[in-house]
């Protein structure tokens, strides 16, 4: 239909152009030379003219050589009388008249052209049809893209590291394949499934895999595609989307980033109108998922990384019956994800994926995919036959810490301060029994950092005790303290460390109840995104919290300072090694500590 309107508009424009050209040619006389009125009078008075043709206020005649000449005669002139006195034969003709319909068309042409442009943009603004055929739609039509079963190539085997989430959605696939099995037992399939978790964990990929396994039509749309500046458009698109889904039931409707339209309805504050576009769209979505009319065999899958700001009415049973957390993968999941992304890459037989997985704690699936891709790019740039462990380690550092900035010029003094700072982090982490082991220390600038100390946990941590958090505070403060001990000064290099120290200490007091003076209480801060106000604190409680936060930080500061003062020789040795080699590994630090202990 979109192509039909486009072809029709082109033919109309061509027809109009031909009509105008024909009319111009019809009313335009033969090409004539123009002479002045004064010269024309001279020719009349001298008797050089025998025949003339008068068309309106224009006089036409032919010269002796056959050239057509014309002159425009003023209205208040005696040209006609002079022609009659000179016995000149005069032939009068009416000027050509523009047909009324053409005159009307020409007068309305600008408005018609503007209206056509507006209509064309309006129809294009409706987006693609659910079938993806590109038909022109109105604003109120859905922008969802329909993926037919034969088009979906992603299967559950392509999703790794989130086995529990895959088991949760396996029932949906069984129901879509064999709905009679569940309906015979009186079971009702969940109307909606909410996939939530941190960014990059594979929520959208899991939804694509569900579509690929179920073999049913799959409508995909983003939450931001519902909301427009015109009130009512989003609600109309929701209605159209579910109508299309019911026509193709059983099917799946996938709404990515649903928080764009499903935010808490009180998030706008007291001055927000309940009649705005986003709220109307959300209300329509609530009705379509579980309203007066039954919505059988249409399953809604939504993804978000901000579950806390979604409206409670959207999360209740009957709408999103299941809420499936898609977590960050553990060490086993990371190994599986790496192997999935390495299927199409050339991998050296000596690559140990378990070692790489252990060295990437906290990595999401997207980061692991980026790691393998970076390794492949490095392999291609270096004209190497396959991806090796060394390349994977370099790619991991690039993904984790950013690209090296070897072109950055820093003074020798700044370099020594940076080396001392990182040596302070590394030594405190090495000496404290509860801290994560040091994996690598570097003073090569990466990203916005002039140096980095990388720690890798020996095992996966799900929760953290107070001893581990205290050791983390000491490690973060070690860099600042080392600068004070060696150079007797403070620099801005510890800015990010101090920010993390303040955040961890305040959360220990306000969220995790790790202060004896405050006790096992929690104090929530305001959440402006969800519209939830913070907990009201008395002045005495606020002062007590500040005192306890300062006490935790000061205790960690004293502990780290004592360690660095006691082992000043090791601090200088690690600093010298960094200045010499720029990057040192765990084994090299261990050799330095062993040598220092022997001396």
Which DSSP string do the residues of 179-227 spell out, in sequence order? Answer: HHHHHHTT----SEEEEE-STTSSHHHHHHHHHHHHTS-EEEEEGGGT-
Which region among 270-279, 480-489, 498-507 has the lowest average model confidence (pLDDT)? 270-279
Higher pLDDT: 42 or 436? It is 436
Residue 10's pLDDT is 64
Closest CA to 90 of 61, 119, 117, 120: 61
Higher pLDDT: 28 or 66? It is 66
Q: What is the mean pLDDT of the chain?
A: 79
Per-residue pLDDT of 291-320, as tens digits, reads: 666 666 788 889 998 888 888 888 888 888
Per-residue pLDDT of 147-178, as tens digits, reads: 776 777 778 877 888 888 888 888 778 887 77
Q: What is the CA radius of gyration of the chain?
A: 40
Residue 128's pLDDT is 42
Per-residue pLDDT of 323-334, as tens digits, reads: 888 888 888 888
At 230, the pLDDT band (50, 70, 90 cuts) reads low
Cα–Cα dist 457/586, whole Å: 13
Per-residue pLDDT of 474-490, as tens digits, reads: 999 999 999 999 999 88
Question: What percentage of the chain carries pLDDT values higher than 90?
Answer: 17
For 398, phi then psi, to 5°, come to -70, -40
At 570, the pLDDT band (50, 70, 90 cuts) reads very high
Is it the case that residue 502 has pLDDT exceeding 80? Answer: yes
At 78, the pLDDT band (50, 70, 90 cuts) reads confident
Which value, to the nearest 10 degrees, does the dihedral of the CA atoms of residues 44, 49, 51, 55 take?
Answer: -50
Higher pLDDT: 339 or 120? It is 339
Domain layout of the chain by residue ranges: 2-93, 145-266+275-325, 339-401, 412-598
Catalytic residue from among 277, 335, 422, 483: 422
- The pLDDT of 104-131, averaged and rounded, is 59
Higher pLDDT: 270 or 430? It is 430
**Cβ(329)–Cβ(162) under 8 Å?**
yes
Is it the case that residue 574 has pLDDT exceeding 90? Answer: yes
- The pLDDT of 110-116, averaged and rounded, is 69
Residue 382's pLDDT is 87
Q: Which two tokens stand for residue 130?
A: 């659910």
Helix 568-581 and helix 539-566, axial crossing angle in degrees, nearest 10: 80
Is it the case that residue 256 has pLDDT exceeding 50? Answer: yes
The residue count of the chain comes to 599
Instruction: Please provide the DSSP assignment of 119-175 as one string.
Output: HHHHHHHT---TTSS-----TTS--PEEE-GGG----GGG--S-HHHHHHHHHHHHH
Higher pLDDT: 527 or 226? It is 226
Residue 20's pLDDT is 61
Which region among 120-134, 365-379, 453-467, 535-549 has the lowest average model confidence (pLDDT)? 120-134
Is it the case that residue 492 has pLDDT exceeding 60? Answer: yes
Q: Is the dihedral of CA 536, 539, 541, 545 positive or negative?
A: positive
Residue 100's pLDDT is 57
Instruction: For the beta carbon of residue 178, count every other beta carbon within 10 angstroms.
Output: 11
Closest CA to 368 of 161, 104, 546: 161
Q: Which two tokens stand for residue 515?
A: 């202060």
Cα–Cα dist 236/431, whole Å: 64
Residue 158's pLDDT is 78
Per-residue pLDDT of 339-375, as tens digits, reads: 888 888 888 888 888 888 888 888 888 889 899 999 9
**Cβ(53)–Cβ(93) under 8 Å?**
yes
At 273, the pLDDT band (50, 70, 90 cuts) reads very low
Higher pLDDT: 466 or 21? It is 466
Does the annotation count 422 as an active-site position? Answer: yes
H/E stretch holding 599: none
Residue 269's pLDDT is 45
Is it the case that residue 135 has pLDDT exceeding 50? Answer: no
Residue 14's pLDDT is 66
Burial of 34 (0-12, 13-18, 19+ CB in 10 A): exposed
Is it the case that residue 127 has pLDDT exceeding 50? Answer: no
Is it the case that residue 91 has pLDDT exceeding 80? Answer: no
Where do the H-state alpha helices sit in 248-364?
Answer: 277-290, 312-315, 331-341, 353-358
Closest CA to 311 of 223, 243, 189: 223
* CATH architecture, domain defined by 412-598: Up-down Bundle (1.20)
For the segment(s) 145-266+275-325, the CATH number from 3.30.360.10, 3.40.50.300, 1.20.120.160, 2.60.40.10 is 3.40.50.300
Residue 129's pLDDT is 40
Question: Could you give the angle at the alpha carbon of 375 between the alpha carbons of 372 and 376, nearest 5°?
Answer: 90
Is it the case that residue 518 has pLDDT exceeding 60? Answer: yes
Fold (CATH) for 339-401: Helicase, Ruva Protein; domain 3 (1.10.8)
Cα–Cα dist 438/436, whole Å: 7
Residue 320's pLDDT is 86
**Long-range contacts made by residues 104-110, C-beta under 8 angstroms, separation at least 24?**
105/16, 106/20, 109/16
CATH of domain 2-93: 3.30.720.210
Higher pLDDT: 336 or 404? It is 336
**Cβ(211)–Cβ(147) under 8 Å?**
yes
Is it the case that residue 97 has pLDDT exceeding 80? Answer: no
Question: What percentage of the chain carries pLDDT values higher than 70?
Answer: 80
Residue 139's pLDDT is 56
């Amino acid at each position: 239909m979109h192509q039909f309107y486009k072809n029709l508009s082109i033919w109309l424009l061509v027809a109009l152009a031909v009509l105008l050209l024909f009319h111009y040619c019809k009313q335009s006389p033969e090409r004539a030379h123009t002479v002045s009125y004064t010269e024309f009078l001279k020719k009349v008075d001298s008797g050089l003219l025998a025949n003339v043709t008068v068309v309106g206020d224009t006089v036409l005649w032919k010269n002796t050589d056959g050239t057509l000449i014309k002159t425009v005669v003023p209205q208040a002139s005696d040209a006609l009388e002079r022609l009659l006195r000179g016995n000149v034969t005069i032939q009068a003709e009416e000027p050509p008249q523009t047909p009324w319909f053409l005159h009307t068309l020409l007068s309305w042409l600008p408005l018609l052209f503007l209206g056509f442009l507006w209509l064309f943009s309006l129809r294009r603004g409706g987006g693609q049809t659910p079938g993806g055929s590109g038909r022109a739609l109105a604003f109120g039509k859905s922008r969802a893209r329909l993926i037919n079963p034969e088009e979906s190539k992603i299967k559950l085997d392509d999703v790794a590291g989130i086995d529990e989430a895959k088991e949760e959605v396996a029932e949906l696939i069984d129901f879509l394949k064999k709905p009679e099995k569940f309906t015979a037992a009186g079971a009702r399939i969940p109307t909606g499934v909410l996939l939530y978790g941190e960014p990059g964990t594979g929520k959208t990929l899991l939804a694509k895999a569900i579509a690929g396994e179920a073999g049913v039509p799959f409508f995909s749309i983003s939450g931001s595609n519902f909301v427009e500046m015109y009130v009512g458009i989003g609600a109309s698109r929701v209605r159209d989307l579910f109508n299309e889904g019911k026509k193709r039931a059983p099917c799946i409707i996938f709404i990515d980033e649903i928080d764009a339209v499903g935010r808490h309805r009180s998030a706008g504050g007291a001055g927000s109108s309940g009649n705005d576009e986003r709220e109307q769209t959300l209300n329509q979505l609530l009705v379509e998922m579980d309203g007066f009319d039954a919505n059988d065999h249409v399953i809604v899958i939504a993804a978000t990384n901000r579950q806390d700001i979604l409206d409670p009415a959207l999360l209740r049973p009957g709408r999103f019956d299941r809420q499936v957390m898609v977590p960050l993968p553990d060490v086993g999941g990371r190994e599986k994800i790496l192997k999935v992304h390495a299927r199409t890459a050339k991998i050296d037989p000596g690559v140990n994926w378990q070692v790489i997985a252990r060295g990437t704690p906290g990595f999401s699936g997207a980061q692991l995919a980026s790691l393998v891709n970076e390794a492949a790019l490095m392999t291609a740039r270096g004209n190497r036959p396959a991806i090796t462990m060394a390349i994977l380690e370099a790619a991991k550092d690039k993904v984790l810490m950013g690209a090296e900035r070897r072109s950055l010029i820093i003074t020798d003094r700044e370099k020594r301060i940076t080396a001392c700072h990182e040596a302070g982090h590394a030594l405190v982490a090495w000496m404290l029994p509860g801290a994560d082991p040091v994996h690598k220390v570097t003073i090569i600038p990466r990203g916005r950092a002039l140096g980095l100390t990388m720690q890798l946990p020996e095992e996966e941590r799900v929760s953290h005790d107070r001893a581990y958090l205290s050791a983390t505070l000491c490690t973060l403060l070690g860099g600042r303290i080392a600068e004070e001990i060696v150079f007797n000064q403070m620099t801005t290099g510890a800015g990010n460390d101090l920010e993390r120290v303040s955040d961890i200490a305040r959360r220990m007091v306000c969220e995790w109840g790790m202060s004896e003076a405050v006790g096992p209480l929690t104090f929530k801060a305001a959440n402006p995104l969800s519209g939830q106000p913070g907990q009201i604190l008395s002045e005495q409680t606020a002062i007590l919290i500040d005192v306890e936060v300062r006490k935790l930080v000061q205790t960690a500061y004293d502990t780290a300072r004592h360690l660095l003062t006691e082992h000043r020789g090791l601090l200088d040795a690690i600093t010298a090694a960094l200045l010499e080699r720029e990057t040192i590994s765990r084994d090299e630090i261990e050799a330095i500590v062993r040598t220092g202990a022997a001396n």
